[in-house]
A and B are shown apart, each in its own frame.
Chain A
Amino acid sequence: MSAPTAPTEDRAPDALGQGTKKSRGHQSRPPAPPLSAIARRRSLTGWAFIVPAAAIIVLVNFWPMIQALFLSLKTGRGTRLHWAEPLWLNYQRLFQDENFRLTLGTTFLYLIIQVPIMLGIAMVLANLLNAPWLRFKGFWRTAIFLPCAVGLVSYSLVFRQIFATDGLANDLLMQFGILDDPVNWLGQTGTARMVIILGLLWRWTGYNMIFFLAALQNIDRSTLEAARVDGAGGFKTFWYVTMPQLKPIILLCAILSTNGTLQMFDESFNLTAGGPGNTTMSVSHYLYNVSFRNSPNFGYAAAISYAILIIVAILAAIQMKVGDKRD
């Protein structure tokens, strides 16, 4: 670099952080006093860059979350709300609400069945795509990831069409002689839930696969070589060498999937419309109905939303604990 154009420029450590350690070639410059005007200004510049995003995050996440807590202690219809008597009235009601229990149970069913299957398949696919001998990698990856480019409402309508009584699924299954009579897939609790799980698997497996694949590609090749030299087979290498290194990303995907499933709305609303008899309805769909259908009850809805918040937090905490232990 040529002669500095700003001779008063200093490089106070607190303003530049770790960068100062790496800088080289300016040893001739005299050490500047700490926290000079320029350093302070630079720190302020940093804050100025952060504040717009941080303020919006507080406004649209933290502030409403606190508001929801107050709201959940109030009762009344529409906009005329007053403090509940007793304060925890809405939460009391929650425990007696059969629809809440039903929708929460259904959501957990989706979660318990779908997330492990999805993460398992995604892991197998990611490992196959990472194999050095595999050909047409780009093709496989693109095709399997493609469902993620489709909107939730869009795919819900396609699945609804495919699994209609006079739809494609029945026609194909009858053609192959697997079924004798058409099945009313979306009209029965068990099969309708299965269709939703199938839809979730279709939409999200490729998404998780991409994260696993990225993590696999970051694994230090020398650790795999070392395992091979020590005589470990393919599976042993995967289980004892690869898996431990993938733990953080598996944990992240598990938490994101849990979070996403507990908030699932679009599929419940559009694929099955909650039916038959609310048995495929997700808890978020129920929350929407309590909030904005018929006579809205914002106080009670806020209590439901807080229940979801607490469940999400508890499950994330459990997953982090489990993720930490398996060493």
Chain B
Amino acid sequence: MTKTTLRRIPAYAFLTVAVIFSVFPLYFMAVSATNTSNDVIASKLLPGGHLVDNFKALVDAQPLGSAAYHSSLNAVVTTVLALVLCSLAGYAFEIYHSRAKDVVMGILLLAIMIPFAATMIPLFRLFAQVGLVNSTTAVVLPLIATPFLILLFRQASRTFPHEIIEAARLDGLGEVSIFTRIYLPTMKPTLAAAGVITFLFSWNNFLWPKVILVDNKYQTLPMLLSNMRAGYVTDYGSLMLAVLIVSVPTMVVFLLLQRSFAEGVTGAIK
């Protein structure tokens, strides 16, 4: 072993500890989902054969399908609308750049600093007044336009060559077609990053759905988990299975798109 290799051992050791710390709770969650409640309490760290039993118990006791449906609906609608609205705005702030638009962007960016806590109660009252409590609109609306995503798209648009737009205009393409047919296809990494961020945020969002979805009929998956906790569920195997089921979609989305996500973040920081 050379001297440099020896010096790198602490680095690898540190990374190993970090990885174990990061992955171990997830491993425990996954393993517990296949074990009986008693095995979970006994801290069994090997997979068991009770996955199907846990699933049956879970579905019998909890409205899992309904919660999964509402979570999916909310997350998909939020992600699609957020991508449309924020890519349009980010593109326009850069491509149709003007001083007035810079001022507007500056004002919009201030919204990043407003804590959700400060807007939650008036928002609830607003939606209550127009009879939108329990509606998808109310769940989705506060998440679909964020200054952060607009900024992400504006920064990414910086590298988009204006000559292409010029050329497209000369060819007689309309402004909307330039956006949809030329700009958007080149923005895939940014769209992926924005999509991952929005989907994860919406899927995992807890406080706002809890506030606005008063009727338990519309509860989302995180609300279902929280209610299981509050209901003192003693079947820990199926509780951990529920947690696993809620976590799998976001982990899959993340693993599939993590390369694009990293590229998008890098592009935004540049």
Contact = CB atoms under 8 A, between A and B. Distances in A.
A54 B19 contact: no
Given A56-B85, A61-B111, A62-B111, A151 B250 contact: yes
Nearest to B19: A143
Given A5-B172, A155-B25, A214 B115 contact: no
A53 B85 CA distance: 5
Interface stretch (B49-57, B58-66, B184-192, B222-230): B222-230
Given A168-B43, A214-B269, A64 B222 contact: no
Contacts of B122: 63-65, 67-68, 71, 302
B117 A210 contact: no
Interface string A128-163: 100101100000111111111111111101111110
Contacts of B26: 146-147, 150, 158
B21 A202 contact: yes
Interface string A13-44: 01111111011101000000000000000110
A211 B265 contact: yes
At the interface, is chain A mostly helix, strand, loop or mixed?
A: helix
Contact of A161 (B98, B108, B226, B239): B239
Contact residue range for chain A?
35 or more
A249 B145 contact: no
A20 B43 CA distance: 66
Given A291-B120, A292-B211, A218 B250 contact: no
A9 interface: yes
A196 interface: no
A75 to B, nearest CB: 14
A153 B145 contact: no
B262 interface: yes
A152 B204 contact: yes
A229 interface: no
Interface string B195-236: 000001001101100010000000000100110111000001
Nearest to A170: B43
A313 B111 CA distance: 11
Interface stretch (A82-90, A111-119, A236-244, A304-312): A304-312
Interface of A: 1-2, 4-6, 9, 11, 14-20, 22-24, 26, 42-43, 45-47, 49-50, 52-54, 56-57, 59-65, 67-68, 71, 121, 124-125, 128, 131, 133-134, 140-155, 157-162, 166-168, 171-172, 202, 205-206, 210-211, 213-215, 217-218, 249, 259, 262-263, 265-266, 269-270, 273, 284, 287-288, 291-292, 298, 301-302, 304-306, 308-309, 312-313, 316
